Each structure stands twice: as structure tokens, then as C-alpha cells.
């Protein structure tokens, strides 16, 4: 039986009035707290708006206060605009210690700057995998996501309370770590570019043992791929007092001894300066040094051993086949075999099979068949990841 519309029936005027009232209240709250509803929808994982891209963008710049209830940075970093509290939310106005004019401006500045001897850095093409040392709330990595760059951001839990929690809540890849006495838990040659913006690491110091200088920088050298870049955006690059000059001179001596080349040194409009180094791609420079310091690592010291290993004072060995054409540009790189040395003669075939296997499995099963609403999933940990397929 088809029933008549209750709103048109005289005996139900209160239903009509109540519905209008509820609708008005709902519209009021939906428009007033548009961001709330977007986050709610994503947060409970049951339903999703059509505008998922917008949701993702919002997540990056605002999070629930109650999920990371640490207000200290709001006060401490007020001038640098890292994070602010806005009602029930923290918002991230893309500021930072070195990003006074906004991290977007800073990143464009790096890209547009003409390198003296190389093409410009093309985010998301040959610079695809980046490490941000001492990341703060990871706005640098967060903004680079829009440029098709995957940045691993890290910092310790120090006075900059809960930085990594903020980053993960924003949906930005991040991990708790520190440049201290041990190696970082990343394999050799992993990163296309490493970034340190006032990250407080004394690169020219010895690390743990007193007889060898520069261990922290030698560790970066290990995880930076041949031809990769290191961007150091820090006061010794642009302040000229004696203390800063001393650090700058020590960095010059150290980087030269490691065969790193300065490809750019510049200042942006706000006076902040940065230097871009490039790692060497062959053994020629190491062999031509006047003395063998720092020495090349013995093979056994440098074969991807990084768990619970102290920093070393040697230069890690280059990949045998390394050359300027490696790695391939993104996205071809995804399906081309990495150069990491393998003694297995079937390595290439194994890699190709693994790639095909995961391509099919992800598109047929994970994306379509598991009933997971992927737009509501942001931070994923792949355990026992193999080739990362």
C-alpha cells in the first residue's frame, strides 16, 4: 500500500515542524563545522564523501586536538607558525623554523633555483624518495606529497614534544629517530635527497668516538644514493660571526674529503640560506685524494648493516654499477629492478615476478575485494615488505 506523504496530512503538522527544525539545526552545524563533518566521515570509516581528495588535503593541515593533546609547541613555536590551536583542532599553517614565508615558497625556491652544473631538481621525477632529518611537524614532507615525492620525516621526542605524533596524525610518513651514536635503520643508497633545515645535528662532529670527525655526515653519505643531494639549510651557511664561520669551514673540509660537491649555495628573499651538495658517483675522486681520510669502508663494514651498529668513520662503498642513469625516473622506477647487489643469478626474474604478483594482488584483491574503503586509510605499515611491491 502506498502511504500519503505525512507532511501533507493535517493530523501530522508537528512532524513537519519538527523535521524542519531538525533539518535547520543539521544544516547549521554542517556548514559551521564543515571540516568537522569531513573528518568525522573519514574517521569512523563507515561512509565517505565524493570529495575524498579534499578530505585528504584537509587532513594534512588540520587534526583533532584530542587525538594529540600536546599544546606546548603552539606557544614555543608561535613566531615560526608551526602549529596553532583553532577550536577543537590543531591547524598547521605550513610554517617552520626555516620556512618563514611558508614551506610551499621554500620548496618552489629549491626547485626553481638553477643549479650551477646540473639540471634543476625535479620533484617527483628523479627526486622521488626523500629523508627529512629533524622534521619538526613534517610540513616539508607533507607539502612534497603534492609533488609526487615520498618523504620519510624523522625527529626524536625532545623538547619539541610529540612532533612525530602530529606528523602521523596529519597523514605524513614519519618515524621517531635521532642522529646520535648509532646508524639509522635505513639501508645503503636509499634516498635521492636528504634535507636538514636547522635540524640541530652537528654534522662535522665525531659522533661517539673522539678520534674520527664527521661520523654523522658519513652516515648520511651511506644512506644517500650516488648522485643524490643533501640540502643543508642552516645558520652556518649564512651567518658570518666567528662561531658560524668555524662550523662552515669544518663542513667545507669534511665534505671535500668525502668528495661531495657543492652544486648550489644561495639565499632566499627572507635572507635564509641553504647549500646543496651532491654525492659522488664513482671511485675516481676517492682515489685522487691526497690522503685516504676518511678511508673507504671495508666491504664487511658496509653491506647494509645498520641495526644496532655504531656510527663508523669510513666512507661506505658505492654500488658497483652506479651511474648517472640510475635510478630510472618515477614511475618507471617502480617496475625496474633496484641495483642493490645480489649474488642470486635469478635476482632479476625474482624481482619481476614479485612486481607482477603484487600488481595483480593489489588491484584485484586489496583495492576491490576486501571491502576496505581506502580513502579512509592513510598510514599503513607493510610488515615483511620484501621488494615493497
Ligand X SMILES: C[S@@+](CC[C@H](N)C(=O)[O-])C[C@H]1O[C@@H](n2cnc3c(N)ncnc32)[C@H](O)[C@@H]1O
By CB under 6 A, name the binding residues for ligand X. Answer: 96-99, 133-136, 155-156, 158, 160, 163, 178-180, 197-201
* Residue 64 β-bridge partners: 89
Nearest CB to ligand X, comparing residues 270 and 325: 270
Nearest CB to ligand X, comparing residues 63 and 179: 179
Provide, rounded to whole angstroms, the least separation between the CB of residue 101 and ligand X. 12
Distance separating alpha carbons of residues 144 and 133, to the nearest angstrom: 15
CB atoms within 10 A of CB 343: 5
Provide, rounded to whole angstroms, the least separation between the CB of residue 40 and ligand X. 30
Place of cell 676517492: 286
Provide, rounded to whole angstroms, the least separation between the CB of residue 262 and ligand X. 21
311 touches 218 (CB < 8 A):
yes
Provide, rounded to whole angstroms, the least separation between the CB of residue 106 and ligand X. 9
Q: In the numeric block, which cell numbers belong to residue 309?
A: 651498529
Provide, rounded to whole angstroms, the least separation between the CB of residue 156 and ligand X. 5
Helical H segments across 269-346, by residue range: 284-288
Nearest CB to ligand X, comparing residues 111 and 158: 158
Nearest CB to ligand X, comparing residues 199 and 223: 199
Nearest CB to ligand X, comparing residues 163 and 278: 163
Provide, rounded to whole angstroms, the least separation between the CB of residue 67 and ligand X. 20
Provide, rounded to whole angstroms, the least separation between the CB of residue 145 and ligand X. 16
- Find all residues with CB under 8 Å of 262, minimum gap 6, and list them: 255, 275, 276, 277
Provide, rounded to whole angstroms, the least separation between the CB of residue 376 and ligand X. 29
* Residue 150 β-bridge partners: 129
Nearest CB to ligand X, comparing residues 270 and 292: 270
Distance separating alpha carbons of residues 182 and 184, to the nearest angstrom: 6
φ and ψ of 210, to 5 deg: -85, -15
Nearest CB to ligand X, comparing residues 277 and 286: 277
Nearest CB to ligand X, comparing residues 109 and 286: 109
Distance separating alpha carbons of residues 306 and 283, to the nearest angstrom: 23
Adjacency order of strands within the sheet including 84-86: 62-64, 89-91, 84-86
Provide, rounded to whole angstroms, the least separation between the CB of residue 98 and ligand X. 4
Nearest CB to ligand X, comparing residues 141 and 171: 141
Cβ burial, residue 386 (10 Å; 0-12/13-18/19+): exposed
Q: In the numeric block, which cell numbers belong to residue 53?
A: 581528495
Distance separating alpha carbons of residues 389 and 351, to the nearest angstrom: 9
Give, to the nearest 10 degrees, the angle between helix 34-44 and helix 52-61. 100
φ and ψ of 175, to 5 deg: -145, 155
Amino acid at each position: 500500500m502506498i502511504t500519503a506523504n505525512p507532511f501533507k496530512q493535517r493530523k501530522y503538522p508537528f512532524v513537519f515542524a519538527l523535521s524542519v527544525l531538525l533539518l535547520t539545526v543539521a544544516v547549521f552545524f554542517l556548514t559551521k563545522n564543515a571540516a568537522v563533518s569531513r573528518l568525522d566521515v573519514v574517521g569512523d570509516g563507515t561512509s565517505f564523501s565524493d570529495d575524498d581528495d579534499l578530505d585528504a588535503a584537509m587532513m594534512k593541515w588540520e587534526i583533532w586536538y584530542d587525538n594529540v593533546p600536546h599544546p606546548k609547541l603552539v606557544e614555543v613555536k608561535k613566531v615560526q607558525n608551526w602549529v596553532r590551536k583553532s577550536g577543537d583542532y590543531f591547524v598547521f599553517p605550513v610554517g617552520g623554523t626555516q620556512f618563514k614565508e611558508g614551506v610551499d615558497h621554500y620548496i618552489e625556491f629549491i626547485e626553481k633555483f638553477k643549479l650551477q652544473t646540473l639540471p634543476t631538481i625535479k620533484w617527483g621525477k628523479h627526486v622521488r624518495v626523500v629523508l627529512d632529518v629533524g622534521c619538526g611537524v613534517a610540513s616539508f614532507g607533507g607539502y612534497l606529497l603534492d609533488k609526487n615525492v615520498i618523504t620519510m620525516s624523522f625527529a626524536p621526542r625532545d623538547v619539541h614534544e610529540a612532533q612525530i605524533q602530529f606528523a602521523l596524525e596529519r597523514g605524513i610518513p614519519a618515524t621517531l629517530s635521532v642522529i646520535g651514536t648509532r646508524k639509522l635503520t635505513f639501508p645503503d643508497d636509499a634516498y635521492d635527497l636528504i634535507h636538514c633545515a636547522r635540524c640541530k645535528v652537528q654534522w662535522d662532529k665525531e659522533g661517539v668516538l673522539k678520534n674520527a670527525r664527521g661520523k654523522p655526515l658519513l652516515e648520511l653519505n651511506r644512506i644517500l644514493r650516488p648522485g643524490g643531494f643533501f640540502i643543508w639549510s642552516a645558520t652556518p651557511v649564512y651567518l658570518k660571526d666567528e662561531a658560524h664561520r668555524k662550523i662552515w669551514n669544518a663542513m667545507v673540509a669534511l665534505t671535500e674529503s668525502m668528495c661531495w660537491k657543492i652544486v648550489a649555495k644561495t639565499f632566499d628573499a627572507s635572507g635564509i640560506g641553504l647549500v646543496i651538495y651532491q654525492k659522488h658517483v664513482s671511485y675516481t675522486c676517492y682515489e685522487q685524494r691526497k690522503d685516504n681520510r676518511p678511508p673507504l669502508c671495508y666491504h664487511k663494514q658496509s653491506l647494509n648493516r645498520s641495526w644496532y651498529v655504531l656510527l663508523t668513520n669510513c666512507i661506505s662503498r658505492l654500488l658497483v654499477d652506479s651511474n648517472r642513469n640510475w635510478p630510472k625516473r618515477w614511475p618507471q622506477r617502480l617496475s625496474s629492478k633496484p641495483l642493490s647487489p645480489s649474488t642470486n643469478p635469478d635476482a632479476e626474474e625474482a624481482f619481476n615476478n614479485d612486481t607482477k604478483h603484487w600488481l595483480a594482488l593489489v588491484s584485484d584483491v586489496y583495492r576491490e575485494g576486501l571491502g576496505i574503503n581506502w580513502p579512509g586509510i592513510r598510514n599503513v605499515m607493510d610488515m615483511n615488505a620484501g621488494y615493497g611491491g
